[in-house]
């Protein structure tokens, strides 16, 4: 770096002024070219990335609601259950899954809780006709590879969520039984989750988030579930 500046020392004033202009020009042109290229690539990939994101969430919804082939987004609040596209609608986002005939197959709800390293976010399916949870799909986690991250893949653990009991008590205000994670191999009730041996903290996080979220949202959801039952046109 020192070499070129020490070279032409005959007229330092002119050298500095020309070279500053050159430096500026080189950096400006590089910056302009880079900006142009990045914007072009961004424009080109934007629809593809958005489609990927949409497909990912759709895939997750169809996984946690067995039999669903189409979905519609709603916002749930104490005022009621409104389609997400309706103006002025607020509340918690829930996804309703319908089959080919337009019949309601279930509802997908997001839940989150602190896992072993970071927040674990999942999507879970709920079917009102059996008052049960029908599947979970991990959306985001940073659990230990090979141990905690088995909450997403372990087949025995996933079996917990084929029909996990989430029925409400008689006054419809809260769950009849708390959803709890129990030690591996000691599941005796339909509202219990059999933990993965060696991944207790992650398994418990799933149980905790399902319980908290269901306690908060299912009583409200059941009040307005008829809105969803009307279905969508096939």
Partner 1 sequence: MTSRSSQAGNPSLELLMRGVWRDNPVFVMVLGMCPVLAVSNSVINALAMGLATLFVLVASGALISMVRHLIPKQVRIATFIVIIATFVTVVDYTIQAISLDLYNALGAFIQLIVVNCIILGQAESFASQNKLLPSIINGLGMGSGFTIALVCIGAVRELLGNGSLLGFDLLGPQFQPWVIMILPPGGFFVLGGWLLLFAWLRERKGEVRIISGGCGGH
Least distance to partner 1, CB of residue 38, Å: 5
Using CB under 8 A as the binding rule, whether residue 88 contacts partner 1 is answered as no
14 binds partner 1 (CB under 8 A): no
In whole angstroms, what is the distance from residue 18 CA to residue 1 CA? Answer: 17
| Residues touching partner 1, count (CB under 8 A) | 28
CA distance 143 to 152: 10
- 155 near partner 1 (CB under 8 A): no
- CB burial class (10 A; 0-12, 13-18, 19+) of residue 89? middle
Q: Is 147 in the site for partner 1 (CB under 8 A)?
A: yes
Per CB under 8 A, contacts with partner 1 among 20-79 are: 22-23, 26-27, 30-31, 33-34, 37-38, 41-42, 45, 48-49, 52-53, 56
Q: List C-alpha distances in Å: 195 to 36, 81, 161, 163, 185.
A: 52, 34, 12, 16, 8
The residue from 11, 86, 88, 145 that contacts partner 1 (CB under 8 A) is 145
Residue 5 interacts with partner 1 (CB under 8 A): yes or no? yes
Burial grade of 44 (CB within 10 A; 0-12, 13-18, 19 or more):
exposed
Local structure of 164: helix, strand or coil? strand
Q: Which residues lie near partner 1 (CB under 8 A)? A: 1, 3-5, 19, 22-23, 26-27, 30-31, 33-34, 37-38, 41-42, 45, 48-49, 52-53, 56, 140, 144-147
């Amino acid at each position: 770096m020192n070499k070129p500046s020490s070279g032409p020392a005959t007229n330092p004033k002119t050298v500095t002024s020309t070279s500053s202009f050159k430096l500026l020009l080189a950096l400006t042109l590089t910056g302009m070219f880079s900006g142009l290229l990045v914007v072009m690539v961004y424009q080109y990939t934007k629809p593809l990335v958005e489609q990927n994101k949409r497909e990912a969430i759709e895939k997750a919804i169809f996984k946690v609601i067995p039999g669903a082939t189409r979905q519609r987004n709603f916002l749930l609040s104490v005022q009621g259950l409104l389609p997400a596209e309706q103006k002025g609608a607020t509340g918690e986002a829930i996804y309703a899954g319908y089959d080919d005939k337009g019949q309601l197959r279930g509802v997908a709800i997001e839940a989150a809780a602190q896992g072993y390293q970071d927040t674990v976010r999942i999507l879970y399916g709920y079917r009102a006709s059996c008052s049960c949870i029908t599947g979970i799909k991990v959306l985001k986690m940073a659990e230990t590879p090979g141990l905690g991250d088995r909450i997403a893949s372990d087949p025995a653990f996933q079996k917990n969520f084929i029909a996990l009991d989430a029925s409400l008590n008689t006054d419809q205000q809260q769950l009849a039984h708390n959803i709890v994670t129990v030690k591996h191999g000691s599941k005796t009730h339909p509202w219990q989750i059999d933990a993965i041996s060696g991944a207790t903290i992650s398994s418990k996080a799933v149980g905790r988030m399902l319980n908290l979220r269901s306690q908060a949202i299912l009583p409200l959801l059941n009040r307005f579930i008829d809105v969803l039952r009307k279905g969508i046109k096939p």
